[in-house]
Structure 1
Amino acid sequence: MADRQLGEVLDTDSVVPVRSAEVFPDLSGEVAARIERSMASARSGATRRAYDSAWRRFETWCTVAGHHALPAHPATVAAYLVAAADTLTVDGTRAYAPSTFGKWIAAVADRHRATGYDNPCGHEMVRATLSGIRRDYASAGERPRNPRAPLLTSDITTIVDYARRGGAGWASEVLERRDTALLLMGYTGAFRRSELVALECRDVHRDRLDGAHVRIRKSKTDQDGTGTVKALPFTDRHESCPVCAWVRWLQIVAAFDTGGRVAVIRILSRAVEFDSHICRGTLPVVEKRSPLFRSVRKNGNLSDTALSGAAVHAAIRRRATRAGYGPDTVAQLGGHSLRSGFVTQAFRNGADAHAIMRQTGHTTPAMVETYAHENAPLVGNAVTELGL
């Protein structure tokens, strides 16, 4: 009976190409190319690369299994998901997380829509298969979420302090200034690492009342580039002031862009001890369109290109290790630790979700509350009122 019902579904809901009633217009090559470029720009480069990779994987699997990839039948997609869910690593654990399946499905759906075919991933068979896989994973306790551990204010100040007193030589000081700016700006601004590495010098402006205003021209939740502004405040202590950290790094960027390593060595050799605020002093002149955060080579030279997200991740782990954090703790840290740390610390300090959202840019409180549930479960919890 079950086989007959499945056969009926496959026969009646087979995927066919979408046929348009309109006649395709005779477009010039220039117009067609312009449309193609605009369509490609509808998604970020990272998303396009991820979709292309996921599609190639699906296409390869279909070739090996003897199925059509385009257009794909819903049963083909369901079989693909089941095969991936049953794939194990050498130690017998699941090779792929449920969230990975969601990304793969999105890529398959996107390719079908882009080529004028019905989306097989919207079929009930695919949705039910994916839902069942997730329930199976959850029941077995396999591949749970593994979010990055938050870095709180005490962590940030400790790591920054070790970074500033652990350098040896001018090249190390260049790296220290960049990393402390990353840490303090990333933490107080609740930035995603993709937002940090996309910053150009023109995006940060000092405000005489607030501190620094940072314009995010485009982000994960703002692909159309509406833009938003985050404020980094002047703080009481110069050691933890994000605006001071920005100015110290900007001095290096300006010196290198105008005079190379010789100018950088000169400014570092003449620099006075960092024992008070410098955030209200004269700002160095920089090339506005140049990347703010860049790679620093072993010889202290700066690259011309922006720092990568992976480099932010590595910098946080490297600095935490040097500050004395153990391997198990460091393994839980990453680029997202700054953003999750901001939310967690703000909740612990009594901020509400909407106040936090003003800095993080979340559009709903639901995701913000997730941080509270995972990293600050006692905040606002009645268990603290039991009187035990």
Structure 2
Amino acid sequence: HVAVPAHPVTIAAYLIACADTVTEAGERAYAPATLAHRLAAIAHHHRQTGHPAPTGDDLVKATMAGIRRGYATAGDRPRTPRAPLLTADILAIVDKARANSAGWADEVLERRDTAILLLGFAGAFRRSELVALTCGDISLHRLDGLHIKLRKSKTDQEGRGTVRALPFTPSHTSCPPCAWMRWAQVVAAFDTGGRPAVIRLLRSAEPLAAHVCRGTRPRMVPASPLLRSIRKNGHLSDTALSGAAVHHAIRRRAESAGYDPEIVKQLGGHSLRAGFVTQAFRNGASAHAIMRQTGHTTPAMLEVYAREHAPLINNAVTNLGL
């Protein structure tokens, strides 16, 4: 078979072969979403080489639709969306993380994980967007709070960029700018003086009893990654945290906060973004207002969150008088 340009019959046969592939346990090896990603990759490579994409052919579309129906009928590889973390969850997990900090190394990890939770939730970030942030992407506005420049996202592949604002909050324990400031202080101290500087910072730090977001912004290297992995000895890495590490940090913190193991299994990096949309809907926000923060281009994707996580919002079943 010719790879590029590929004939639609070849693409259809490839899809069927993938759908028929099973693991040693007898389960389907590939989910429909995986096949859709592969179709997108095939289309991309065809366009890059100046050929029309065969994935738009009616035969390919009909084959993919048939595979989805077959999966649904057999109950194979069902979609398992991440459970959302709502405001009460975020606050409970953050409070427990701070209470469990027994030394300076624990506090370094707590400051980073708290920044992940509060920035990721309030900013409705995807985990890929979170780990791509650099120190120079964030500025502290005296009225708005944090201005976070998102240089590129899933819906902005050309990198036009956008700014997400994370406001000051009445409580210092849940204030995203405070969480960023506390972690930024650690990053700046480490980049300047290494581990000894971080230890000096934390030993002389004021107890967490008031806002710190109005203080002097730490001097950081603009191009350096904001979120980084932390070794057991307290050393920060020079490279950005991975998306998988964000996923594991959220699960680890939820488990430490006493969440049921079955619930912990449903959590992940997307729980912060899903939680933002769900909580906003439950609090009466409009789809347009939510889209301003999430970056969704149409309300259709928001409806998925509403159906799955807030099914009673704007639902006539609540007006039946039962």
Bin for the TM-score computed over the shorter chain: over 0.9
CA-CA distance at 1:357 after TM superposition: 0.7
* Equivalent residue number for residue 171 of structure 1: 105
Structure 1 segment 305-384 matched on structure 2, within 5 A: 305-384=239-318
Q: Deviation digits for residues 17-65 of structure 1, max 9, x if unmatched?
A: xxxxxxxxxxxxxxxxxxxxxxxxxxxxxxxxxxxxxxxxxxxxxxxxx
CA-CA distance at 1:104 after TM superposition: 1.2
CA-CA distance at 1:241 after TM superposition: 0.7
One-letter amino acid of the structure 2 residue matched with residue 308 of structure 1:
S
Structure 1 segment 184-203 matched on structure 2, within 5 A: 184-203=118-137
Bigger relative contact order, structure 1 or 2, given CA contacts below 8 A and separation 6+?
2
One-letter amino acid of the structure 2 residue matched with residue 102 of structure 1:
A
Which runs of no fewer than 5 residues in structure 2 stay unpaired? none
Q: Are 2:206 and 1:206 aligned?
A: no
Find the aligned partners of 2:144 and 2:44 in 1 and give their Cα distance: 43
* Equivalent residue number for residue 42 of structure 1: none
Structure 1 segment 196-235 matched on structure 2, within 5 A: 196-235=130-169
* Equivalent residue number for residue 13 of structure 1: none
Which is greater in Rg?
A: 1
Aligned length: 322
* Equivalent residue number for residue 269 of structure 1: 203
State the superposition RMSD in angstroms. 1.4
Structure 1 segment 61-140 matched on structure 2, within 5 A: 67-140=1-74
One-letter amino acid of the structure 1 residue matched with residue 249 of structure 2:
A
TM-score by length of 2: 0.96
Tell me the SS of whatever aligns to 1:142. Answer: coil
Moved over 6 A (4+): none
Find the aligned partners of 1:121 and 1:98 in 2 and give their Cα distance: 15
Find the aligned partners of 1:121 and 1:376 in 2 and give their Cα distance: 35
One-letter amino acid of the structure 1 residue matched with residue 319 of structure 2:
E
Tell me the SS of whatever aligns to 2:229. Answer: strand
One-letter amino acid of the structure 2 residue matched with residue 107 of structure 1:
A
Q: Deviation digits for residues 69-93 of structure 1, max 9, x if unmatched?
A: 3443322221111111122233333
CA-CA distance at 1:120 after TM superposition: 3.0
Find the aligned partners of 1:104 and 1:269 in 2 and give their Cα distance: 51
Find the aligned partners of 1:291 and 1:334 in 2 and give their Cα distance: 21
Q: Which piece of structure 1 moves more, 256-265 or 115-124?
A: 115-124
* Equivalent residue number for residue 39 of structure 1: none
TM-score by length of 1: 0.80
Tell me the SS of whatever aligns to 1:206. Answer: strand
